[in-house]
């Protein structure tokens, strides 16, 4: 008699699971969900082979900073592992409030709410404000967390061409003046590395009395004074109505936040299910984010190093004539345009000990199949030498 777990379950849904092509291909090509047994700085090890990590979003290289580790350990000692409930149900803790005040102050807002994931924060920045009868205007290339928020809000949505205020202006011409409108944008687009044309979008928002939601997961820590983000970079913090971001990029932890006016945050706390029904951010994650924020304020050398590395990395890619889709930031795609080319390029990089990630259509627009890379302040000169060599090798293979 076969062991129960060797028998294939049968039902319409299990039949779909057994025959799913996306999973079969993913497992065949073994491109995602790798497990590393060790990590030291930018180096990760899998089955005895070491790779330079070139796809994590640890832009400032803070993931192993001693002050952050200490803060996390101390919070665990004092508060334990979690608060085991949603803020609405069993209350927040003083460390949530402290972090929220510091974050709000840093990004130039009155108030803030922290979440246990950036995904929740960014979905909440939409669901917390939009309702069924509203109209949402969304950049075509938004992150999945924002699309989730848009869908869950029940509002109707128009997509405009990526980072194209001209197209949005055309769409808005036919809109009812009295309808509540939201613009949903990213500060720095995660796949493309493009900076939002925020001044033009804000001008349109003012003309049409729209509420601006800005996901700055990839701008926070990178752009603006001390890394205050994209809105600060343009001097437009006030004009963004709800700013959301993640702790899993520059802050090198996990969690996320939404910042707005005091009234805006109170409103979101009454209306967003992701805020009301999800457990509070853990003590250690909160303490790590607070320590990382302090480091961003007090240790400018990490950002300086990031921009030095970015300059060198860009020059490596440019010298090889690789298409970086006009990325202006440390999130840098290498557009190869065909999934086979992307796969062979990625394999060649792996062979040379450089770990990156593949993104192919429909995850990116057709013809934009790419390798997504991100440079960090933690990359050493030796890492960059090896990346240069690996890129030249990969280019020769396609």
Ligand X SMILES: Cc1ncc(COP(=O)(O)O)c(C=O)c1O
Q: Does 192 bind ligand X (CB under 6 A)?
A: no
Q: How far apart are CA 8 and CA 14, in angstroms?
A: 8
CB burial class (10 A; 0-12, 13-18, 19+) of residue 209? exposed
Q: For residue 55, is it left (φ>0), alpha (ψ between -120 and 50) or beta?
A: alpha
Neighbour tally for 29: CB within 10 Å = 13
- Tell me phi and psi for residue 240, to 5 degrees: -85, 125
Chain positions 143 to 182 lying near ligand X, rule: CB under 6 A, are 143, 145
Which residues are bridge partners to 52 per DSSP? 43, 354
Q: Specify whether the CB–CB gap between 325 and 191 falls below 8 A.
A: no
Chain positions 131 to 150 lying near ligand X, rule: CB under 6 A, are 143, 145
Q: How far apart are CA 140 and CA 161, in angstroms?
A: 6
The 20-39 site mask, x for binding ligand X (CB under 6 A), equals --------------------
Question: By beta-carbon distance, which residue lies closest to ligand X?
Answer: 118
CB burial class (10 A; 0-12, 13-18, 19+) of residue 3? exposed
Closer CB to ligand X, residue 274 or residue 309? 274
Q: Quickly list H helices, the chain.
A: 12-18, 21-29, 66-79, 87-90, 94-107, 118-127, 144-153, 165-172, 198-208, 230-233, 262-271, 273-276, 283-298, 301-319, 339-351, 381-396
Q: Does 278 bind ligand X (CB under 6 A)?
A: no
Structure tokens at 80: 């334990």
Q: Does 51 bind ligand X (CB under 6 A)?
A: no
Cα-based torsion angle of the residue sequence 116, 118, 119, 125 in order, rounded to the nearest 10 degrees: 100
Closer CB to ligand X, residue 246 or residue 329? 246
Closer CB to ligand X, residue 109 or residue 143? 143
Q: Which of 99, 117, 316, 335 binds ligand X (CB under 6 A)?
A: 117
Q: Which of 246, 275, 278, 282 binds ligand X (CB under 6 A)?
A: 246
CB of 249 to ligand X, least distance (A): 7
Q: Does 248 bind ligand X (CB under 6 A)?
A: yes
Closer CB to ligand X, residue 106 or residue 119? 119
Q: Which of 106, 119, 129, 345 binds ligand X (CB under 6 A)?
A: 119
Closer CB to ligand X, residue 316 or residue 331? 331
Q: Which of 149, 256, 264, 333 binds ligand X (CB under 6 A)?
A: 256
Closer CB to ligand X, residue 268 or residue 390? 268
- In this chain, which stretch among 105-113, 127-135, 198-206, 215-223 interacts with ligand X, using CB under 6 A? 215-223
CB of 336 to ligand X, least distance (A): 21
Contact residues toward ligand X (CB under 6 A) are: 117-119, 122, 143, 145, 186, 190, 215, 217-218, 246, 248, 256
């Amino acid at each position: 008699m076969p062991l129960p777990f060797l028998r294939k379950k049968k039902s319409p849904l299990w039949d779909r699971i057994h025959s799913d092509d996306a999973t079969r291909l993913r497992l065949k090509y073994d491109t995602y969900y790798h497990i590393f047994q060790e990590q030291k700085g930018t180096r990760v090890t899998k089955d005895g082979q070491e790779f330079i990590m070139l796809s994590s979003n640890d832009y400032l290289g803070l993931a192993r900073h001693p002050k952050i580790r200490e803060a996390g350990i101390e919070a665990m000692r004092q508060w334990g592992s979690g608060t085991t409930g949603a803020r609405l149900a069993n209350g927040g803790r003083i460390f949530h409030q402290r972090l929220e005040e510091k974050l709000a102050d840093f990004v130039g807002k009155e108030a803030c709410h922290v979440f246990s994931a950036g995904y929740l924060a960014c979905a909440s920045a939409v669901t917390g404000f939009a309702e069924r009868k509203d109209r949402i205007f969304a950049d075509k290339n938004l992150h999945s967390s924002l699309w989730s928020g848009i869908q869950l809000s029940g509002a109707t949505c128009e997509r405009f061409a990526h980072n194209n205020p001209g197209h949005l202006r055309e769409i808005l011409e036919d809109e009812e003046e009295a309808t509540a409108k939201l613009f949903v944008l990213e500060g720095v687009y995660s796949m493309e590395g493009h900076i939002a044309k925020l001044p033009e979008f804000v001008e349109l928002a003012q003309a049409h009395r729209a509420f601006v939601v800005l996901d700055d997961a990839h701008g926070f820590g990178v752009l603006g004074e001390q890394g205050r983000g994209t809105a600060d970079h343009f001097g437009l913090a006030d004009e963004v109505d709800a700013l959301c971001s993640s702790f899993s990029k520059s802050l090198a932890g996990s969690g996320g936040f939404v910042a707005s006016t005091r009234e805006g945050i109170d409103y979101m706390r009454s209306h967003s299910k992701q805020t009301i029904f999800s457990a509070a951010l853990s003590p250690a994650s909160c303490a790590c984010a607070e320590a990382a924020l302090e480091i961003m304020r007090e240790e400018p050398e990490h950002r300086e190093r990031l921009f030095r590395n970015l300059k060198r990395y860009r020059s490596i890619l440019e010298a090889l004539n690789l298409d970086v889709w006009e990325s202006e930031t440390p999130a840098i795609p290498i557009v190869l345009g065909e999934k086979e080319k992307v796969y062979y390029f990625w394999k060649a990089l792996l062979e040379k000990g450089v770990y990156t990630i593949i993104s192919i259509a429909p995850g990116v627009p057709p013809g934009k199949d790419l390798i997504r890379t991100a440079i960090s302040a933690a990359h050493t000169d030796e890492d960059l030498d090896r990346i240069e060599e690996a890129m030249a090798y990969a280019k020769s293979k396609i």
